């Protein structure tokens, strides 16, 4: 297939000039183009060719034209639709800003005034469209764009155009679903043919739920489970997640989420008027006094039952004042006296005692400041009878948002020994607060289902220190002890899986243990498990998707951001990886000593072709890790790509005096430089540097030269130099010593192909194809791709590379592999290495 961008430019002719790809995935590829006659930028959305082939183009164009008649300030108009060169596309204006999805990923739940303003704009757009007989069918944060203080809805009418053009209510038979599971109304999920505009009202309710709580109501489930939940499961009230949402707003949201369409607001206009009634003229916080006076009175009087409850009432008032504009530091914590709910006044002194002990415990953690007023985080608790015992519980609340961050307890103790229960609750309060606010490990905002005991957290923290010192065995030992101290603390097991990376038996064992406890995991831990399991099987695309979910759930956690950047790098989303990494500080918190930060950053920039930025990043790494050989390798790669051969020689000379280490050896640096010089058009300089590698290897002491790594470097150096007959016995002997190694069989196949022995090359390729044992992660398929490329079987080589990616080979690793030089100008190969986003 021709490159899609080139193909699209041909289809558009001289009317539009394609500038760049904006995004991809889902139902369309998105490009920014300039409309030549008017010199204005527009967006072109291209449907997949296999989908376009199944559509009635004229029906599709007619529906798009019908939708294009919508003229409303909160609807992105469709400008045109066309079909040419086998492509089906439509155009719309370019909106400067970001999607609501991107905003939620970055920020989480939104301030209530901002949420109301966005919902007002979307409801206004829906009311107008519904009045004109048009239903969106796919309202979700991805289709709401934020530009300044205004929101606009995009892709209006596209779902209807697709269904009309195929004559079907759904397109699942050809791989496209009309609607997104997380936002589908029950009748839409059940494929009810009578589905109408009220499905948009349900979807708006889901969007409202998400902007107010930070997540949709049915989260962490498979697509099929989400669809079933829409039909059968009740929605947890908004106030359970965020107590400060005004009752009138919560009532409206839950009304939109009624299972039966007849029980919802019947028009978007009703929703719009309700939202307008809540908004103040200045666009401020919706009034909280919209609750009937009798209900407010009923809620107030029980709180005043005991003296200690007055402190809680004062705390609530403080929270409301803070929410109305005061800026507070989340690490400033206050602890209210615990409320006595036993009905026994003789136990009143237990409340202040609990508060005092927890306050003292939190001070010992050293991660928060205990204050009496102006707190950003409030801990409020209570105790009650449980048979002959007392049970103690506490809520940790974000004061500025009114959101409960964690629930601690219940912890029980005999009635005559309440201190035992308080001490157990204290241990979990300390562990929970440390988990939330200790910035050393990038865990800010990660919420676990059960707060860990503090002794277990400290053991876990010691494991983190060892992990980031690159001492995996020590880290595993500490993680294991953390789970022994507190069996409910599952998170160390997930980190243990990371420490067991590439030790597959242990890795599988830990993942199996965590999977068996799936019902105890928080949403963040569930996403972590999905990411680790996908990575274990070389499924970088699924690992990336799960990592995005981790970052969405805990947008403030540096660990989640770094993990997403790592997954994005491996899955080919290099721009996203760079954007994340450049906003992290590699010299603080969990990234201190994390040299691979610069590996992910420079590799992503390298594969994007941004070599000047790549060099600047490598030089920053050199300032931080001047004595690390691996950083020299990253610098040399960038310099070679920029063609700065003199600087490459200088860096290589410096490297030769450095000892080998776990980072690698000077041979790694020289070989990398030679390959990169050749890949970027400096073949002569590459050959000269490769000759220098062979000379350096020849000068090694005999015992050193006889080691397997040095023999591999010699064989590769001879191969790079075109000395196939000399390279052949090196890899023949290595393959004889390691008959199960697909890598050495692959090198033998490459050499046979280079020597012109096609029969032998194809025999070895077949031998590789028979290798199906676990944990190869596509290495055998990658070697077959290289053999095919050398033999001139271009299409087969690219297909095998695609297969290798699916099996676990990182996208882009072949960028400097000389054996793929013959296919570099082949359009499907260029498409394969193009950044995904």
> Where is mean pLDDT largest: 32-41, 132-141, 724-733?
724-733
Q: Which of 62-66, 406-410, 527-531 has the highest mean pLDDT?
A: 527-531
Kindly report, residue by residue over 10-59, the tens digit of the pLDDT.
Answer: 767 777 788 787 754 445 678 888 877 777 788 888 876 655 555 566 66
Given CA atoms 657, 660, 663, 664 in this order, what sign does their dihedral have? positive
Joined tokens for residue 10:
């041909």
Phi and psi based region of residue 218 (left: phi greater than 0; alpha: psi -120 to 50; beta: remaining):
beta
**Complete DSSP assignment for 477-489:** HHHHHHHHH-TT-
Task: Please name the residue that has the structure tokens 């053999």.
Answer: 787
Residue 837 — pLDDT band, cuts 50, 70, 90? low
Spatial CB neighbours of 700, under 8 Å, sequence gap ≥ 6: 710
Task: Using alpha carbons, select from 720, 723, 721, 797 the residue that is nearest to residue 761.
Answer: 797
Residue 695 confidence (pLDDT): 94
pLDDT digits (tens, 9 = 90+) for 147-163: 877 888 987 766 665 65
The CA distance from 448 to 527, in Å, is 12
Name the burial class of residue 634, with classes exposed (0-12), middle (13-18) and buried (19+) by CB atoms within 10 angstroms of its CB: buried
Q: Where are the alpha helices (DSSP H) in 324-438?
A: 350-365, 418-437
**When comparing pLDDT for 6 and 271, which is higher?**
271
Instruction: Specify which residues 408 forms β-bridges with.
Output: 394
Helices (H), 680-776: 683-698, 702-705, 708-720, 724-737, 742-754, 758-769
End-to-end CA distance of the chain: 21
User: Would you state the pLDDT for residue 136?
Assistant: 86
Rounded mean pLDDT of 79-86? 72
Highest mean pLDDT: which range of 37-41, 63-67, 737-741: 737-741
More confident residue, 814 or 568: 568
pLDDT digit string (tens) for 110-123? 988 889 999 998 99
How far apart (Å, rounded) are the C-alpha atoms in residues 484 and 480?
6
Q: What's the helix, strand, coil split of the chain in %, to 5?
A: 60, 10, 30
Which is nearest to 254 in space by CA: 269, 273, 239?
A: 239
pLDDT of residue 611: 95
Q: Which of 39, 50, 124, 138 is catalytic?
A: 138
Section 429-444 average pLDDT: 81
Q: Give the DSSP H/E element, type plus range, for residue 391.
A: strand 389-398
Distance CA 24, CA 775 (A): 31
Directed axis angle between helix 666-679 and helix 708-720, to 10°?
A: 20
Contact 128, 156 (CB under 8 A): no
CA angle (79, 85, 90) in 5-degree steps: 15
Contacts of 99 (CB under 8 A, 6+ apart): 141, 142, 143, 144, 145, 146
pLDDT tens string 599-647: 999 999 999 999 999 999 999 999 998 888 889 999 999 999 999 999 9
pLDDT score for 285: 35
Q: 93 with 42: CB under 8 angstroms?
A: yes
Strand bridging mode 369-370 / 339-340: unpaired
How many angstroms separate the CA atoms of 744 and 171, rounded? 47
Q: Region 384-404: what's the mean pLDDT? A: 88
pLDDT of residue 157: 60
3-class DSSP state for residue 37? coil
Higher pLDDT, 461 or 180: 461
Among residues 320, 533, 333, the alpha carbon closest in space to that of 434 is found at: 333
Most confident of 4-13, 324-333, 372-381: 372-381
Residue 508 parent element (H or E): helix 504-516
Residues 339, 382 contacting (CB under 8 angstroms) = yes
pLDDT score, position 300: 25
Strand 332-335 relative to strand 369-370, pairing = parallel
For residue 608, give both structure tokens: 């994007």
- pLDDT exceeds 70 at position 177: no
- How many Cα atoms within 13 Å fall on the side-chain side of residue 378? 29
> Does 301 have pLDDT greater than 70?
no
pLDDT, tens digit, 9 for 90 and up, residues 305-326: 222 322 232 232 333 333 334 4
Give percent of the chain above pLDDT 70. 86
How far, CA to CA in Å, does 645 sit from each of 181, 499, 680?
Answer: 54, 39, 11
Q: Cβ(500)–Cβ(510) under 8 Å? A: yes
Residue 435 has pLDDT above 90, yes or no: no
Q: For position 159, what pLDDT does the model report? A: 63
3-state secondary structure 130-185: HHCCCCCCCCCHHHEEEECCEEEECCCCHHHHHHHHHCCCCCHHHCCCCCCHHHCC
pLDDT surpasses 70 at 819: yes
> Dihedral of CA 524/527/529/531: which sign?
negative
In this predicted structure, what is the pLDDT of residue 167?
52
In this predicted structure, which of 9-23, 512-526, 820-834 has the lowest mean pLDDT? 9-23
State the pLDDT at residue 313.
27
Residues 333, 320, 403, 99, Cα dihedral to 10°: -120
Residue identified by tokens 């964690």 is 406
The structure tokens 């070895």 sit at: 764
Distances (CA, A) of 188 to 161, 231, 486, 631, 758: 17, 9, 45, 54, 57
Q: What is the pLDDT of residue 52?
A: 55
Cα 469 to chain centroid distance, Å, stands at 25
How does the average pLDDT of the chain come out, rounded?
A: 82
Is residue 677 a contact partner of residue 685, using CB atoms and an 8 Å limit?
yes
Q: How confident is the model at residue 67 (pLDDT cuts 50, 70, 90)?
A: low
Low-confidence winner among 103-112, 165-174, 576-585, 724-733 (lowest mean pLDDT): 165-174
**Lookup: tokens for 774:** 């676990």
d(CA 730, CA 744): 10
Identify which of 175, 384, 518 has the alpha carbon closest to the alpha carbon of residue 530: 518
User: Does residue 276 or residue 389 have the better pLDDT?
Assistant: 389
Q: pLDDT tens-digit profile of 379-391?
A: 999 999 988 899 9
From the list 625, 624, 628, 619, the residue with the least C-alpha distance to 655 is 628
| Per-residue model confidence (pLDDT) at position 160 | 60
- Closest of 53, 36, 44 to residue 5, by C-alpha: 44
Percent of the chain with pLDDT over 90: 38
Has residue 101 got a pLDDT over 70?
A: yes
Verify whether residue 473 is a known catalytic residue.
no
Closest of 78, 4, 105 to residue 47, by C-alpha: 4
SS3 111: coil
Residue-level pLDDT at 677? 94
CB count within 10 Å of CB 220 equals 18
Dihedral over Cα of 15, 18, 21, 25: its sign: positive
**Mutual orientation of helices 247-256 and 268-278 as an angle, nearest 10°?**
170
pTM passes above 0.75: no
> Which two structure tokens, joined as six digits, stand for 681?
């058009």
Q: How many CB atoms lie within 10 A of CB 114?
A: 16
For residue 804, give the H/E element and its range: helix 794-807
- Most trustworthy range by pLDDT among 70-74, 335-339, 662-666: 335-339
DSSP SS3 for 31: strand
Write out pLDDT tens, residues 666-699. Answer: 999 999 999 999 989 999 999 999 999 999 999 9
Q: Give the DSSP H or E segment for 47.
A: strand 40-47
Of the given ranges (43-52, 187-196, 232-241, 797-806), which has the lowest mean pLDDT?
43-52
Tokens of 406: 């964690």
Q: What is the mean pLDDT of residues 214-218?
A: 89
State pLDDT tens for residues 279-295: 643 333 333 323 222 22
Q: Identify the structural domains of the chain with CATH numbers, from first to last.
A: 4-93 (3.30.200.20), 98-278 (1.10.510.10), 307-437 (3.40.50), 441-620 (1.25.40.10), 621-833 (1.25.40)
Burial bucket for residue 825 (CB in 10 Å: 0-12, 13-18, 19+) = exposed
């Amino acid at each position: 297939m021709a490159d899609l961008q080139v193909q699209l430019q041909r289809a558009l002719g001289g009317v539009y000039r394609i500038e760049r790809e904006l995004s991809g995935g889902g139902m369309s590829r998105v490009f920014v183009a300039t409309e030549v006659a008017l010199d204005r930028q527009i967006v072109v959305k291209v449907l997949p060719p296999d989908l376009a082939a199944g559509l009635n183009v004229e029906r599709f164009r007619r529906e798009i034209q019908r939708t294009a008649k919508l003229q409303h300030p909160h609807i992105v108009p469709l400008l045109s639709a066309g079909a040419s060169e086998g492509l089906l596309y439509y155009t719309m204006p370019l909106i400067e800003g970001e999607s609501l999805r991107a905003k939620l990923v970055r920020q989480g739940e939104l301030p209530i005034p901002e949420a109301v303003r966005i919902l007002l704009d979307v409801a206004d757009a829906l009311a107008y469209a519904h009045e004109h007989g048009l239903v969106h069918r796919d309202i979700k944060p991805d289709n709401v764009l934020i530009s300044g203080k205004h929101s606009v809805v995009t892709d209006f009418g596209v779902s209807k155009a697709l269904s009309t053009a195929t004559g079907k209510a759904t397109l699942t038979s050809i791989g496209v679903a009309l609607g997104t599971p997380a936002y589908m109304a029950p009748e839409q999920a059940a494929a009810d043919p009578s589905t109408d505009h009220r499905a948009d009202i349900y979807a708006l309710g889901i969007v409202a739920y998400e902007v107010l709580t930070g997540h949709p109501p049915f989260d962490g489930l498979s697509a099929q489970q989400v669809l079933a939940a829409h039909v059968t499961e009740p929605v947890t009230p908004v106030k359970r997640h965020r107590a400060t949402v005004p009752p009138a707003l919560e009532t409206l949201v839950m009304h939109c989420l009624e299972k039966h369409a007849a029980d919802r607001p019947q028009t978007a206009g009703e929703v719009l008027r309700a939202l307008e009634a809540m908004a103040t003229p200045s666009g401020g916080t919706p009034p909280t006094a919209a609750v009937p006076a009798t209900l407010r009175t009923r809620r107030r009087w029980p709180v005043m039952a005991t003296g200690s409850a007055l402190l809680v009432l004062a705390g609530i008032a403080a929270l409301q004042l803070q929410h109305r504009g005061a800026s507070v530091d989340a690490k400033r914590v206050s602890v209210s006296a615990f409320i006595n709910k036993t009905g026994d006044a003789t136990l009143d002194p237990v409340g202040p005692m609990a508060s005092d002990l927890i306050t003292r415990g939190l001070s010992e953690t050293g991660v928060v400041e205990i204050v009496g007023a102006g707190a950003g985080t409030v801990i409020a608790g209570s105790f009650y009878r449980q048979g002959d015992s007392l049970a103690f519980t506490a809520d940790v609340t974000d004061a500025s948002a009114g959101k409960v961050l964690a629930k601690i307890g219940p912890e029980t103790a005999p009635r005559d020994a309440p201190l035992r229960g308080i001490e157990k609750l204290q241990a979990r309060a300390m562990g929970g607060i440390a988990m939330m606010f200790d910035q050393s490990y990038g865990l800010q905002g990660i919420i676990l289902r059960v707060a860990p005991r503090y002794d277990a957290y400290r053991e876990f923290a010691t494991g983190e220190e060892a992990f980031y010192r690159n001492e995996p065995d020590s880290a595993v030992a500490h993680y294991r002890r953390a789970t022994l101290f507190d069996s409910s603390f599952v998170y160390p097991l997930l980190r243990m899986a990371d420490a067991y990376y590439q030790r597959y038996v242990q890795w599988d064992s830990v993942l199996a243990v965590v999977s068996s406890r799936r019902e105890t995991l928080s949403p963040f831990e569930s996403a972590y498990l999905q990411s680790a399991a996908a990575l274990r099987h070389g499924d970088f695309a699924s690992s990336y998707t799960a990592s995005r979910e981790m970052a969405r759930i805990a947008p403030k956690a540096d660990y989640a951001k770094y993990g997403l950047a790592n997954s994005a790098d491996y899955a080919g989303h290099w721009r996203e990886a760079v954007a994340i990494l450049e906003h992290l500080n590699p010299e603080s918190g969990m990234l201190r000593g994390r040299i691979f930060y610069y590996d992910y950053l420079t590799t992503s920039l390298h594969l994007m072709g941004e070599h000047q930025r790549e060099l600047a990043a490598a030089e920053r790494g050199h300032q931080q890790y001047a004595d690390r050989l691996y950083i020299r390798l990253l610098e040399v790669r960038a310099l070679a790509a920029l063609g700065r051969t003199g600087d490459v020689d200088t860096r290589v000379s410096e490297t030769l005096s450095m000892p080998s280490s776990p980072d690698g050896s000077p041979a790694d640096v020289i070989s990398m430089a030679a390959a990169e010089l050749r890949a970027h058009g400096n073949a002569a300089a590459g050959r000269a540097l490769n000759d220098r590698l062979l000379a350096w290897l020849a000068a090694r002491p005999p015992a050193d030269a006889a080691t397997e790594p040095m023999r591999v470097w010699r064989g590769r150096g001879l191969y790079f130099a075109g000395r196939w007959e000399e390279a052949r016995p090196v890899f023949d002997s290595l393959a004889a010593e390691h008959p199960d190694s697909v890598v050495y069989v692959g090198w033998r196949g490459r050499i046979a192909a280079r020597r012109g022995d096609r029969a032998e090359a194809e025999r070895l390729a077949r031998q590789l194809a028979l290798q199906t044992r676990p944990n190869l992660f596509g290495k055998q398929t990658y070697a077959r791709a290289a053999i095919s490329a050398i033999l001139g079987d271009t299409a087969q080589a690219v297909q095998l590379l695609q297969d290798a990616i699916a099996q676990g080979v990182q996208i882009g690793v072949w960028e400097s592999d000389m054996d793929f030089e013959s296919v570099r100008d082949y359009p499907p190969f260029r498409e394969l290495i193009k950044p995904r986003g």
